[in-house]
Amino acid sequence: MKIAVIPGDGIGKEVTEATIHILSALDLPLTYEFGEAGDECLKKEGSALPEDTLKLAKKSDAVLFGAVGESAADVIVKLRKELDLFANVRPVKCYPGIECIRKDIDLTIVRENTECLYSGIERYTDEGAEAVRVITRKACERICEFAFKIANEKVTAVHKANVLKKTDGLFREVFYEVAEGYPEIEAEDVYVDAMALYLITKPQDFDVLVTTNLYGDILSDEAAGLVGGLGLAPSANIGEKNSLFEPVHGSAPDIAGKGIANPTAMILSSVMMLRHLGFEREGDLVENALIEVLREGKVTPDLGGNLKTMEMAEEIRKYVLEAK
């Protein structure tokens, strides 16, 4: 299998190097081919996402993506659209050794990735500006189907249909239509403002949240704050043919080049990639090795330790090799 690796800018390069170092300890039929993208690429090549990199992503079995800076909209948003990565998946889980609001948080936010206000249909008017919010039945159906397929017990639809009666009204309607095909899974719906509160007051009550693009973007960052911040937040972007895995954090130019970036989110994103490709055992190996390192405090300064990025990666790699 071919993995397209796009390190990007800033700490994206550092956490990517650390993650590949760990993955190389696994006996897997994976080959890594690197592509350029991001701010530095824009300066050098005149394009933030060169055609060669886009072609590489389309022809690969999965994409492992680091982080980019100001050119994010021209890179990651374009990749999501070009590869039709309709489902953004954000696990929210408390790990040992990490300060969390509760220790029993283990939920997943599934966000529709292709439309809503992020369709980019905007215009200036005489009074100011306006944007068009696009919600289609097809997009609602496939994101809700995805959410029910990965749920263990319950799926919660998050919307604002009491105000946005047509757009969010359609989303809620389709959600319950899809729910009829999964009688073993509990289905409920919650207003987005209430969910913003419930994530703080009772996050342990939720299994899978499914929502539209803008709400999911906001709620998933809020949820990351419950379990240690963006440095521990992985994500997957899943389509019918392609997939892309990336940490949620940005390129962090303030610490780039210092070798102290926390690689956890990128490592967990690679765990999601392994499992998506069918390598469940290897995904478990890497996650369990990371858990041991977190528990022992062999971590980067932002997590209270004193290790460099690659030193933390080496500790994880040692556990992977021992457990093989």
Predicted confidence (pLDDT) per residue in 170-213, tens digit: 999 999 999 999 999 999 999 999 999 999 999 999 999 999 99
pLDDT at 73: 86
Strand partners, 246: 235
The set of residues, in sequence order, having a beta carbon less than 8 Å from that of 199 and lying 6+ positions away, is: 206, 219, 222, 223, 226
Q: What percent of the chain has pLDDT over 90?
A: 97
Q: What is the mean pLDDT of the chain?
A: 96
For residues 16-42, average pLDDT? 97
For residue 247 the two structure tokens come to 């940490």
Q: Which pLDDT score is estimated for 300?
A: 97
Q: Which residues are catalytic?
A: 118, 160, 193, 217, 221
* Integer-rounded Cα radius of gyration of the chain: 20
| Whole-angstrom distance, CA of residue 258 vs CA of residue 308 | 9
Residue-wise pLDDT tens digits, 119-145: 889 999 999 999 999 999 999 999 999
State pTM to two decimals: 0.95
In the prediction, which pLDDT does 205 show? 97
CA 165-170-175 angle, 5° bins: 125
Domains of the chain and CATH, by start: 1-88+242-324 (3.40.718.10), 100-227 (3.40.718.10)
Mean pLDDT of 25-47: 96
